[in-house]
Amino acid sequence: MMRYFHDTGLLLLYCMASILYFPANPLFVLSFLCALIVCCACFFLDSPLLRLGLGILFLSASLLFPPFFCFYPVLSYLFLRERRWLCLSCICPLFLYHLACSMDDVMLPLGMGIFGFLLAALLQIHTAQYERLSLQYRQSQDDSRENQLLLTEKNKALIEKQDYEIYTATLRERNRIAREIHDNVGHVLSRSILLLGAARAVNRQTELHPMLDHLDDSLNSAMDSIRSSVHDLHDDSVNLEDTIRGLAHGFTFCPVLIHYDMSLLVPREIKYCLISITKEALSNVIRHSNASQVRITLQEHPALYQLCVEDNGTRIAPGCLKAGSSQSGIGLTNIQERIQALNGNLQISADSGFRIFITIPKKEDL
């Protein structure tokens, strides 16, 4: 914008120097104002045809009002900018025609006109190069921002993948530790308890009874602690996403689409609840539906967890729409009890296929 008005303003001031050989009458002022209007309109008008029409109108007006030809350099700049070569070729003959008809001494007007046309061409070439470089600069900036955004997204994806790999590796290690404890320490304690029982059975010394009783209590307490630790490790090592996808992979009744969007820090009570409900929902599809596709959606929101299992079946078993009714099966009743234990909500519908929608609120103590 600034380059355009800088160039046209400079050309208008130069063309005003025509007052040296042309009287400053009202027609000269009118020609200046018309040239100024054409310059401003050609910048703000979006239609190329309107801009071309204004240029042709200015050329036509110069046939009636000779002072208009003094501002031909400005018009040549506009035609160069629009690449109007045919109109540009008409300017030179008209300029020479006005010189021959209006001037007695044509040397000064001719020299100033030629210099004005050259100045318009140089300004247009310089401005075109500037705009081209400016466009390349903006494109390079846009490419740089785009590459930076892509790099940021890739880094984020790599970090998420790394975190997930660390998470799965941690779960596998917990499983391994649980197995090692169960297979080694658990078996040793079991054997020790059996041997202690045999020793108590054959013992005939009454003074050893208290010691053997304390030893039996210690070993059983240790066994209970081992069992509890193994169960805790095993429960915490369950990968919800892998488990759900494993259930879908083993479901051969129809294709299963999964949309999973949950964090890695899902409480284990909710994990087992969602897994059990998904198993029961897939089992109901096999027994009660003629679906050709099942969709499982698990999403985590700031205040709750959501599970939706829906199919496109048209055959719905009687009593399946209300959990806990006299006609409903034990599966839906169990689902309802699990959800109520977590203060969740269960919705069942069959508008276009069977649909189980579950929401479970987040709690700090879960």
Low-confidence winner among 13-17, 32-36, 174-178 (lowest mean pLDDT): 174-178
Q: Give yes or no for residue 327 having a pLDDT over 50.
A: no
Low-confidence winner among 18-32, 176-190, 317-331 (lowest mean pLDDT): 317-331
Q: Give yes or no for residue 167 having a pLDDT over 70.
A: no
CATH 3.40.1350.10 fits 240-361, yes or no: no
Q: Give yes or no for residue 282 having a pLDDT over 80.
A: yes
- The predicted pLDDT at position 297 comes to 92
Q: Give yes or no for residue 186 having a pLDDT over 60.
A: yes
Average pLDDT over residues 125-134: 86
Find, among 216, 212, 203, 277, the residue nearest to 247 by Cα.
277
Q: For the segment 301-311, what is each residue's pLDDT rounded down to a tens digit? A: 888 999 999 88
Q: Give yes or no for residue 319 having a pLDDT over 60.
A: no
Cα distance between residue 290 and residue 314, in whole Å: 7
Q: Domain ranges in the chain? A: 2-133, 162-236, 240-361
Residue 321 — pLDDT band, cuts 50, 70, 90? Answer: low
Q: Give yes or no for residue 289 having a pLDDT over 70.
A: yes
The more confidently predicted of residues 270 and 105 is 270
Q: Give yes or no for residue 294 having a pLDDT over 60.
A: yes
Half-sphere exposure of 133 (CA within 13 A, CB side): 6
- The predicted pLDDT at position 2 comes to 79
Q: For the segment 236-268, what is each residue's pLDDT rounded down to a tens digit? A: 567 788 888 888 888 888 889 999 888 877 887
Find, among 80, 70, 87, the residue nearest to 127 by Cα.
80
Q: H or E segment at 97?
A: helix 85-102
- From the centroid of its chain, how far is CA 255? 28
- From the centroid of its chain, how far is CA 79? 44
239 backbone φψ class: left, alpha, beta (φ>0; ψ -120 to 50): beta
Cα distance between residue 198 and residue 187, in whole Å: 17
User: Are the CB atoms for 293 and 312 separated by under 8 Å?
Assistant: yes
Q: For the segment 70-117, what is each residue's pLDDT rounded down to a tens digit? A: 888 888 888 888 888 887 788 878 877 777 776 666 677 777 878 888
